[in-house]
């Protein structure tokens, strides 16, 4: 396994784009009836603008040193790296739980009510452990094919709902209040976890430019807005009352005589969570200074699985791990505060 071979920056950004797609795929909260599509679009743009700012510290480190933040921290503070490594390991375990819990909840509610969620989680973690052992380079190569399939799936789901669009009951007026704005923007801010992934593995990429981040987040915003557009105007108030709106959108698709293509939704969701968990396990092994170590990967896969069991047995644990306000606060610390402190202390001596 060759974990130190550099690959194009655009390939990592493509994988991060797919990872962020799970945020809209697992959208699962009911909105007030007084909100409008335009208001939601503003929340999406605001959330992703904040995500862009979360990239800034690690992007500066990458441009100045050609290292990611984790490699930079190992170089500058070798005696204190155990604390940094522990902090980021905890963060990535939380991130894994956040999406794994959301995915299995969707799976059991919408796709197979008789499935054993622990078996689903265990199989996912086993497959992702193998992928993580192969390294980020191999995972992002796989991400190219996942992107191609996901693109086809999104096009089919959207085009299958064109006939369902109805502009009689909803328009493009702007309506919503401050509390709604905070709630929705905070949810779409959860895409910021990709900034922490970038901060951990960007040492492997070459030819990085700041515009790669801007274009990636721009396309994420476009995907989210198009998804919200179809959910709003094709599903209407019925969609707002349903759990996992994108699943409902896939069920309402009609392609000729074929109706309901929720299998595409399942496939894209599964591939997205696979990509997230695989990269997260790579980040954890990278943060420990032992990239690709199978023992480290298996150990943390076991920790994630045990915590997953605890989350389903104790509801208060699950509520904490799936609360996007807590998650965003942790992401802010990991993506902004810690790297910024390093920049202020060591940044001036870091040019190469």
Q: Which tokens belong to 193?
A: 């976890």
Task: Give the pLDDT confidence score for residue 349 in this predicted structure.
Answer: 55
pLDDT for 303: 96
Distance CA 175, CA 171 (A): 11
Lowest mean pLDDT among 109-113, 128-132, 271-275: 109-113
The residues, any chain, with a CB within 8 Å of residue 56's CB and separated by 6 or more, are 336
Contact predicate 12/198, CB 8 Å: yes
**Spatial CB neighbours of 188, under 8 Å, sequence gap ≥ 6:** 23, 43, 44, 46, 47, 48, 224
Domain ranges for the chain: 7-346
Rounded CA-CA distance 89/296 in Å is 11
Rama region for 272: left / alpha / beta (φ>0; ψ in -120 to 50; rest):
alpha
DSSP 291-344: TT-HHHHHHHHHHHHHHHHHHHH-HHHHHHHT-HHHHHHHHHIIIIIHHHHHHH
Per residue in 284-293, pLDDT tens? 998 887 877 8
CATH classification of 7-346, choosing from 3.30.390.10, 1.20.1740.10, 1.10.260.40, 2.40.50.140?
Answer: 1.20.1740.10
Q: Is 205 helix (H, G, I), strand (E, B) or coil?
A: strand
Q: How far apart are CA 137 and CA 315, in angstroms?
A: 37
Tell me, what DSSP letter sits at residue 8?
E
pTM beyond cutoff 0.85: yes
In whole angstroms, how far apart are CA 259 and each of 60, 237, 262?
48, 21, 9
For β-strands 7-8 and 205-206, DSSP reports them as: parallel
Which 8-state DSSP code applies to residue 2? Answer: -
At residue 91, the 3 state secondary structure works out as helix
The answer to which of 122-126, 195-199, 261-265 has the lowest mean pLDDT is 261-265
User: Which tokens sit at 132?
Assistant: 């993580």
Q: Report the alpha-carbon distance of residue 272 to residue 269 in Å, rounded.
A: 5
Six-digit token pair at 54? 């979360």
Question: Following DSSP, what letter does each residue of 127-164 receive, concatenated?
Answer: HHHHHHHH-HHHHHHHHHHHHHHHHHHHHHHHHTTGGG
pLDDT digits over 148-189, tens only? Answer: 999 999 999 998 888 888 777 676 777 778 888 998 999 999
In 232-290, DSSP assigns E strands to: 254-255, 258-259
Report the pLDDT value the prediction gives residue 2, as an integer from 0 to 100.
43
The span from the CA of 35 to the CA of 193, in Å, is 27
pLDDT tens per residue across span 189-225 = 999 999 999 999 998 988 888 889 999 999 999 999 9
The pLDDT score that the predictor gives to residue 260 is: 65
Q: How confident is the model at residue 4 (pLDDT cuts 50, 70, 90)?
A: low
Q: What are the two backbone dihedrals, phi and then psi, of residue 252, each rounded to the nearest 5 degrees?
A: -85, -5
């Amino acid at each position: 396994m060759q974990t130190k071979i550099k690959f194009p920056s655009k390939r990592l950004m493509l994988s991060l784009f797919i990872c962020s797609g799970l945020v809209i795929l697992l959208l699962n909260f009911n909105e007030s009836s007084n909100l409008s599509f335009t208001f939601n679009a503003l929340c999406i743009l605001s959330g992703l603008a904040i995500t862009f700012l979360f990239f800034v510290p690690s992007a500066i480190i990458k441009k100045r040193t050609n290292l990611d933040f984790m490699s930079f921290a190992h170089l500058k503070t070798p005696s204190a790296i155990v604390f940094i490594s522990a902090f980021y390991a905890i963060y990535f375990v939380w991130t894994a739980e956040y999406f794994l819990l959301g995915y299995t909840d969707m799976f059991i509610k919408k796709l197979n009510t008789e499935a054993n969620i622990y078996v689903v989680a265990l199989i996912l973690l086993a497959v992702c452990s193998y992928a993580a052992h192969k390294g980020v380079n191999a995972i992002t190569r796989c991400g190219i094919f996942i992107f191609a399939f996901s693109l086809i799936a999104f096009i089919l789901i959207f085009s299958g709902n064109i006939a369902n669009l109805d502009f009689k009951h909803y328009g493009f007026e702007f309506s919503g209040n401050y509390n709604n704005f905070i709630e929705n923007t905070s949810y779409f801010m959860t895409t910021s976890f990709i900034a922490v992934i970038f901060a951990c593995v960007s040492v492997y990429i070459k030819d990085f430019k700041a515009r790669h981040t801007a274009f990636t987040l721009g396309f994420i915003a476009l995907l989210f807005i198009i998804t919200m557009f179809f959910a709003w105007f094709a599903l209407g108030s019925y969609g707002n009352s349903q759990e996992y709106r994108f699943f409902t959108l896939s069920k309402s698709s009609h392609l000729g005589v074929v109706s309901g293509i929720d299998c595409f939704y399942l496939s894209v969701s599964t591939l997205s969570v696979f990509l997230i968990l695989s990269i997260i396990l790579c980040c954890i092994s990278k943060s420990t200074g032992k990239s690709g170590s199978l023992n480290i990967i298996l150990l943390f896969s076991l920790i994630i699985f045990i915590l997953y069991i605890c989350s389903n047995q104790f509801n208060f644990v699950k509520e904490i791990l799936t609360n996007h306000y807590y998650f965003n606060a942790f992401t802010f610390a990991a993506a902004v505060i810690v790297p910024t402190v390093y920049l202020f202390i060591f940044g001036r001596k870091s040019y190469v």
